[in-house]
A = this chain, B = another copy of it.
């Protein structure tokens, strides 16, 4: 078994089982990839891919295992090379972030701007997607850092550190009946059509569930992936918007009335995750701290070290998380 074979395998898996495309990404010829793949399968004694005719159609169960472990191997090899770059004090590299729309659009821009000033030679790659898509990126090792809210169980194997709390806010046009009410009740809210995130969050903080606990049924008129869309429809008078606090800009949204809804809905925590045992470059530490100032190197290292909740939770007991 050669590293090259694992690289080829991973590339094929990441190219939608297209050997030709993988070969191009790898800057090599298509037969080279094809042959090494076959050699690897021969050595292992089973097929990694299911072939219908000559095209690869899907991954066998055992093949899935092999790919996952191959990705781990390659990540670790990258880490070894990273040690070298880190030692030479190189401030160049890539910072690959997988995150949701809210972070990418509202929270990250100033952080990334500041980061780029300090590290002009680090390329920042922003991969936006749903929680599921981000989990996929983590599995295929395409990102260094995941930033998300909720959905803890989608990301096993990641070290997850809390970054900040946030609350939901209600947005209505300035002439809306709710606009004059400082602390609307759930009942008042339920009287109007609601525009909010798709399936916003599962579990105890799910919106329908909170209404249901008070024997109310929300009239969800429209759900969207992101706050921009939601606000647009609120402006059109389609309903009352419920969005994340970060997604509001006093100047941009001056035509809307914003009402704090922290008395109605529990606070959420946005967290950041990275691979356990992964190599964190200096610029990554710095990025994380720019994003969440309480996350200093020492704390992060201890979080990465801690393997069980007992030791892990204690780490953040003394930390007052910022609210946004």
B-binding residues in A (CB < 8 A): 1-3, 44-46, 62, 65-66, 69-70, 72-73, 76-77, 79-81, 83-84, 87-88, 156-157, 276-277, 305, 307-310, 312-313
Pick from A1, A46, A80, A83 the residue with the most CB of B within 10 Å. A80
- Distance in angstroms between the alpha carbons of A13 and B313 in the assembled complex: 36
Give min CB distance, A91 to chain B, whole Å. Answer: 16
The 24 listed contacts between A and B (C-beta, < 8 Å) are A1-B77, A2-B2, A2-B3, A44-B80, A44-B83, A44-B84, A45-B84, A45-B87, A45-B88, A46-B87, A62-B83, A62-B84, A62-B87, A65-B80, A66-B80, A66-B83, A69-B76, A69-B77, A70-B80, A72-B76, A73-B76, A76-B76, A276-B307, A307-B307
Which single member of B3, B45, B69 contacts A79 (CB below 8 Å)?
A: B69
Give min CB distance, A1 to chain B, whole Å. Answer: 6
Least CB separation from A44: chain B residue: B84
- Distance in angstroms between the alpha carbons of A157 and B84 in the assembled complex: 24
Which single member of B44, B79, B88, B310 contacts A81 (CB below 8 Å)?
A: B44
Name A's interface SS: helix
Chain B residues near A70 (CB-CB < 8 A): 80
- Distance in angstroms between the alpha carbons of A276 and B72 in the assembled complex: 13
Chain B residues near A309 (CB-CB < 8 A): 308-310, 312-313
Chain B residues near A80 (CB-CB < 8 A): 1, 44, 65-66, 69-70, 73
Chain B residues near A312 (CB-CB < 8 A): 308-309
Chain B residues near A277 (CB-CB < 8 A): 72, 157
